[in-house]
Every structure is written in structure tokens, then in C-alpha cells.
Structure 1
């Protein structure tokens, strides 16, 4: 049994909108207040505070008359916010993330509810402090009762509920097909078979519309109602771009998983690559990290093998025919001739073939590749 989150959109009533706004505000207040307190305590007395001390501080806050509003929402959502903060600190101390930052009112809002704070019966979800069920647009049936739900509101004003459920993953029939893929900017990826998938370039597609909306936003007075409306228009355009991008990546990753038993890819340090000011916007628009993440968990569910090649492997500069490696290959060179075997190579297809060869060698002989 594996766990999977199923995300659905829902349309809250006026009463639920008020309750959720209050819950989001209390979660944000508790998170920011405890974060400020933990930071100050460390700098003043070098005290290391964990979840137990933070939870005790929350209990103390709820007893203060000026913070009595914290008792009007579910206590589970407040406690889960502290657990998330503890996870953020753990990731920071282990070098996987930066220091936790304060939550903002204009950013995405979310709160998590465990079994004691919600009820799921007959396909309806009830949350604490609300007597009416959520008006969820069910696009599929849940495989089991959710263990936790996360209610979120994005910057475009849309409400979503994410249900964490157990499900039986189906192992796909074995296939004899293997593929190596090389991601890029002009083409989203190129397969070793010669297949080239174009990059939809969604940011450029909506650039004019986004520019007009951002220009209108910049002219609105700070704190005004018109500025809030203009900000919402900008957020909706960004949400449209994000939804289109994820939809395309999910379709492509599912097709690769269904058709191939082994998928070989190159591990990339996307965070380092977007430091290039000339290519940062184009690289971010490709969403390579999200694409590789989708391949990883879908391969695990379907019984496929995903092989990650070392990022320093010279896939583009090495001849897939004879193995000769060029000392230098500029980024604008899309075709090159091998000095040894005189073979003319398409840069991307040659790289995909080399990635496939290195990935299969790693599976057979245990070379320096990362296996997932």
C-alpha cells in the first residue's frame, strides 16, 4: 500500500469562506509568532527549541486575553502548522533548505486537518467548526478514507482540498523498450529514438497579457480595492500558465512510463542553472525539476526503472558511435562531426543515446550512476 494525495477544487459557502479566512489567519499568526520567538530565543540564549516547547508556547498564547481569537478555530490546524515549522527547521539544519521564512497574507494559504478535525462520510467532507459539507467537485472516487486533508487557497482565489489516501499501485506489464532522454530549452526533451518534444513556451505565450496586467497593477494605489482586483488578475494569469505546464508534463511523463521499462535521464542541478541571468527565465519555464519528479514517483508506482546519470557525464560532447569526446562544444553548436569516425551528430539525439548507454551500463555493471 502506498500513499497518494488527491486534489480537488471546491466552492465554499459564505460561512465557510469566513471560517477558512479566520483559520488561515490564525495558522499564519501562530507560525510567524512562534518562528519569531524561536529565532529570538536562539540569538539571546542559544536555546534550541523543538516542537514540544513550541506547542507549550502555543498553549500559553491561547490563554492570553489578547489572543483569545485563536480558540475560535480548530486547534489541530494550529498544531499542524508547528509540525510543518519543525520539519522546515530540520531541513534547514540538514542543509536541504534555507532558514524558514515568515508566511505572507498575499501568498498561498493552507491548513492541514487530521482525522480528529474532519469527517468523511458518504462522499462528503465536514471540517471542524462547520456544520455543512464542502461542495467538492469530485473528478474521481477516493480509493480509501483520507487520513489527512489539506485545504488551500491559491493566489488566484481558488479553493482546493487535498486528501491523503492509501491506494494499491498497479504494476504495468513488462516492456522491452528502453529510452534515454535529454532535456533542453528549445525542445522539452529529446529521446534516444529521435523523438523530439517541443517546448510549449507558456511564459512567452502569455507574456503580452501578463505584461499588461502587471503594468495596470503597478499603477494602482497601495492598499486600495482596485489594487486587490488587479493583483487577482495577475495571479489568475500565473495560475493559468502553471496549470497548462503541469498538465503537459503529466501527460508526457505518463506516456514515457507506460511505453518504456527503463528510462534514463541526466540528473540536473536546476537551482544552479537558473543563476544564469540570460537563461533563467527559459529554464524555469521548462520545469525540468517537476518533470523528473513526476517520472520518479510514477516509475515507482508502475514498477518501472528510472536511472539518473551523473550531471558531469559528457553526454553532448561524446560520440555515441566511437566514444570520442570533444574537448569543447559551445552551446550554439547543434550539429557536429566526429573527428575519429566522421559521423555527423545531432547534438540532442547524440546526448540522449549516450545517456541511455550510460544508464544501461550502470544497471548491468554498477557504474557511478544514481538508481531510483
Structure 2
């Protein structure tokens, strides 16, 4: 069985999932654990850099450096922080968080404009990564790994179990060729929508090549129209934001009033139910504009 790097063609598939309340709690736990491990790796890296500037051979400093270096793996970090031993936390999520930290340093060394790895702050969006493993399988398909499609309407994920799914995955399930699932990313956006992004690999192309038309056409993108073609065809600008900006402005004013009221009453915004309801409404309006664009 070939690895993802050995496969010739790669494809990204993003589908929407509909988890239960219990599954949402598991996603939240894994997202918090992944963010904590990444931030802990950033903190370890900063402390090691500060300790490396101490030129004197102090035993306490050297012992601290050895402790920090040993903690830079998922097993040792779980032993140090016992809450990471929670059975709901996916072990591959912890490994991917550490790998993402090292990948951030690799990106910084290649492109210095990206900046060094920084702390990830807590937000309304959740995210963590896992991997699809093919244990004792001779071929890799969409239906025989640890992450697999049970049918056209359900997907099974580690720790989460069976989830209802909606997306454009049916045409891939109908293919008879071998398709391998690599990294799997589970996300929740600010509008409380849950998604699964799958990294797919195969030796056969996912999209068939279009036939050459043996003619050319020029396209001009401008502000008046969406585009103007060289043959005279014009497509009007739908102006998705302008059609909804009045509703968005009204919702944001209500959100601002509820924020000021919560602060005046010395209540946390996360515990203010009226603020959270309005924040979700504003996030859904932004998501609607984003999806249309």
C-alpha cells in the first residue's frame, strides 16, 4: 500500500457534519487539548531559547533544559499534564498538534515573512486534526480505514463514531479506484457549523481533463460588473454584501448594546445568553455572505 507522498494525485474534500450534543462535547475537548499542546510547545521553545542564552554551566539550568527537551513529545506531555490522559482525547490529535508546531518552524525558515510560531488564542472556532489509518489492509479505500464513509449519508470518525454528513462525496464513493484518506481536520466555525476536511490521494486523477476548444477568450474583472468577456458578454456583479449590509449593521448594533449591558452588569460575555444569541446571529450573516462569494 502506497503512502500519501507516493500517490500521484491529491485532492481536498470538505463536507458538513451534524454531530449530537455528546459528540460536540468530544470535539470541544479535542480542540482544547490540541490548542493547549501547541501553546505548550511554543512556551517550551521560548523558555529553551532564554535558557540557552545563559553561558554559565549552572546545574539547575542544565537540568531544566533536559526536562523541557524530554517533554516535547505527546507521551511525556500527557504524563506531565494528567488531564491529557482523558479517554475522549484522540492520541493522533495530540501528535498532530506537535507536528504542526514543527511545521510552523519549517515554514518560518523557508519564508521568513510568516513569523515564528505564536500562541493560539481561545475563540469560538474549534479545530483539531487526526489521521486515517489502514490497519491490516492491503488496499486503501474510502470505506476500510479508521475514518470511513459508512454510506452516502454517514461517516465514522475516531472517538466521535457515526456522524450524519452532507456534501459532494457521492461521486468519489462511486469510483472503483483506490483512494487513500490522509489527514482529517474537524472544525467548527463561529456560526456553529461543523465540517470535516479530508486529504485524499490516488494514482488516478480526481477530475477528468476538459477537451481543448482551440479558441481563446479574454476576461476582464472590474468593479462595475463581475466580469466582461472579449466576445461582449457581461455578467453583472451580484453585490452580495451590499444587499445584506443593512441587516448586518442592525444586528451588530444590537450586539454592541448587549455587550455594553453585560459589561455594565459585570457579567462575562461567554455567560451572557442574550449576547451569545446575537453573536451567533451576526456570525451566520457573515457566513452567508462568505458562502455566496
Structure 1 residues 56 and 43: CA distance shift in structure 2, 3 A = closer
Given that residues 114 and 148 in structure 1 are in contact (C-alpha distance below 8 angstroms), is that contact kept between their aligned partners in structure 2?
yes
Give the one of 146, 149, 162 matched to 2:197. 162
Are 2:41 and 1:19 aligned?
no
Shift of 1:69: 4.7
In the alignment, which residue of structure 1 is the partner of 2:66? none
Cα distance, 1:23 vs. partner?
0.7
CA RMSD across the alignment? 2.8
Q: Give distance in 2, aligned partners of 1:36 and 1:215.
A: 38
Tell me how far apart the structure 2 counterparts of residues 46 and 210 of structure 1 sit (CA, whole Å): 51
The answer to whether structure 1 residue 30 and structure 2 residue 44 are counterparts is no
Q: What is the TM-score normalised by the length of structure 2?
A: 0.71
Determine the structure 1 residue equivalent to 2:223. Answer: 185
Report the Cα distance in structure 2 between the residues aligned to 1:155 and 1:34, rounded to whole angstroms: 26
1:97 maps to 114
Structure 1: segments with no counterpart, 5+ residues: 48-52, 246-372
Matches within 5 A, 1:104-119: 104-116=121-133, 118-119=146-147
Question: Structure 1 residues 86, 187: closer, same or farther in 2, change over 3 A?
Answer: farther
Would the aligned equivalents of 1:11 and 1:135 in 2 still touch at CA under 8 Å? yes
Displacement of 1:2: 1.5
CA contact (8 A) 1:118 1:125 kept: no
Task: Give me the whole-angstrom Cα distance separating, in 2, the residues matched to 1:54 and 1:171.
Answer: 50
Counterpart position of 1:126 = 156
Task: Report the alpha carbon displacement of residue 239 of structure 1 after superposing the two structures with TM.
Answer: 0.5
After superposition, give the CA deviation of every residue in 1:89-137 in whole Å (9 maximum; x if it has no partner): 322332352343432332432222212393315434322224x311112
Count of residues in Structure 1 that have an aligned counterpart in Structure 2:
240
Q: Are 2:264 and 1:235 aligned?
A: no
> Contact 1:62–1:71 at 8 Å: present in 2 too?
no
Instruction: Answer whether contact 2:15 2:169 (CA < 8 A) is retained.
Output: no
Q: 1:238 to 1:43 in 2, by over 3 A?
A: farther
Q: Give deviations 1:63-110, integer Å, cap 9, x for gaps.
A: 025544556401101211222232223223323523434323324322
Which of the pair has the greater relative contact order for Cα pairs under 8 Å at 6+ separation?
2
2:11 counterpart of 1:4: yes
- Shift in Å, 1:55: 7.3
Contact 2:26 2:88 in 1 (8 A): no
Q: Does 1:219 align with 2:226?
A: no
Instruction: Describe the shift of the 1:57–1:178 C-alpha distance in structure 2 as closer, same or farther (beyond 3 A).
Output: same
Q: CA deviation at 1:208?
A: 1.1
CA distance in 2, matches of 1:179, 1:185: 20
Q: Partner residue of 1:315?
A: none
Q: Which of 90, 106, 118 is residue 74 of structure 1 equivalent to?
A: 90
What's 1:62 paired with? Answer: 78
**Native 8 Å contact 1:111 1:152 kept in 2:** yes
Alpha-carbon spacing, 1:46–1:231, altered in 2? closer, same or farther (3 Å): farther
- Kindly report which structure 2 residues correspond to 1:292-371, keeping only aligned pairs within 5 A, or say none: none
Give distance in 2, aligned partners of 1:5 and 1:54. 35
Aligned residue number for residue 5 of structure 2: none
Cα shift at 1:202:
1.9
In 1, Cα distance between the equivalents of 2:73 and 2:87?
14
- SS of the counterpart of 1:165? strand
Find the residue that maps to 2:181 and give its secondary structure: coil
Distance 1:172 1:139, change over 3 A: closer
Match of residue 137 from structure 1: 166
- Residue 46 to residue 238, structure 1, CA distance change in 2 (3 Å): farther
Cα distance in 2, alignment partners of residues 65 and 196 from structure 1: 61
Match of 2:65 in 1: none
Q: Which secondary structure state, in structure 1, belongs to the residue aligned with residue 219 of structure 2?
A: strand
